[in-house]
Amino acid sequence: MIFRQLFDHTSHTYTYLLAERRGGEALLIDPVLENTAQYVRLLEELDVKLVLAADTHIHADHVTALDSLRNHTGCASAMGAMTRAECVSVHFHEGEKLCVDNLHLDILYTPGHTDDSYSFVLPDRVFTGDTLLIRGTGRTDFQNGDPAAQYDSLFGKLLTLPEETLVYPAHDYNGMTESTIGEEKRHNPRLQVAGKQAYIELMNGLELDDPQLMDIAVPANRACGVRSAA
């Protein structure tokens, strides 16, 4: 399998490129608009054809490259059925799969950070969006976030995966590139709680500034990365 983890230094965002083989089909997860040229160049270098670009949720800290990649490569764009982005060509549901050649990613609905958050699972790894981070979890204080829903997504879905499952989040602010489900169970401070109510209180007690680009990114991402002229 071809796998690349790409990092955007401005938003601390990870984008993931997956393909089964050279000359085959490729998938990009959580692409950033400003890096479109980098993605297109990498696709050419690896000799793969982008057929699908997907966002795990509507991001608040960067503008997505879904529309730009569609224009450059002709790929389909995809987001979960709970999203309010009407511009995508594919709306996926939990229990379905994202497929490129013989790579089949299972789709999990993992709300809490936002109400349209999804995770994608391969046999050996999971792409967790902003739901499960490395030694952290996504904030739950805007975009219909809900700490109770996030607790259920974490403890009822993601943390039930095999402990050796690699964890690839959509963000990291501390230079961590990957983890495992087992590591996060044991060492993620936000997961060391007595139960759902304790997690709710923990998340509700966080005092975090809004993302700098939130007022620009959220409406743009509902349009797949097309910024308003207003």
Measured distance CA(129)–CA(22) in Å, rounded: 26
- Write down the pTM of the prediction: 0.94
216: Cβ contacts below 8 Å, ≥ 6 apart: 63, 227
The residue to which tokens 């389909």 are assigned: 76
Tokens in use for 61? Answer: 């800290």
Band (56; pLDDT cuts 50, 70, 90):
very high
pLDDT value at position 112? Answer: 96
Return the sign of the alpha-carbon dihedral for residues 151, 153, 157, 162: negative
The CATH number corresponding to 2-206 among 3.60.15.10, 1.20.1250.20, 3.30.70.270, 3.40.50.1100 equals: 3.60.15.10
Q: What length does the chain have?
A: 230
pLDDT value at position 69? Answer: 97
Tokens in use for 112? Answer: 């809490």
The tens digit of pLDDT for each residue in 66-83 reads: 999 999 999 999 999 999
Measured distance CA(36)–CA(31) in Å, rounded: 8
The tens digit of pLDDT for each residue in 19-30 reads: 999 999 999 999
Q: What mean pLDDT is predicted for residues 134-143?
A: 92
Closest CA relative to residue 105, chosen from 42, 202, 29: 29
Flag whether pLDDT at 227 surpasses 70: no
Flag whether pLDDT at 134 surpasses 60: yes
How high is the mean pLDDT of the chain? 93
Q: Is there a contact between 87 and 77 (Cβ–Cβ < 8 Å)?
A: yes
Band (229; pLDDT cuts 50, 70, 90):
very low
Flag whether pLDDT at 96 surpasses 90: yes
Flag whether pLDDT at 225 surpasses 60: yes
Q: How far is CA 213 from the centre of its chain?
A: 17
Band (221; pLDDT cuts 50, 70, 90):
confident
Q: What mean pLDDT is predicted for residues 144-152?
A: 96
pLDDT value at position 230? Answer: 37
Flag whether pLDDT at 167 surpasses 90: yes
Measured distance CA(115)–CA(131) in Å, rounded: 11
CA-CA distances (angstroms) from residue 14 to 4, 29, 92?
10, 9, 21
Q: Look at residue 155 and give its three-state secondary structure.
A: helix
Q: What mean pLDDT is predicted for residues 144-172?
A: 97
88: Cβ contacts below 8 Å, ≥ 6 apart: 66, 77, 78, 79, 224
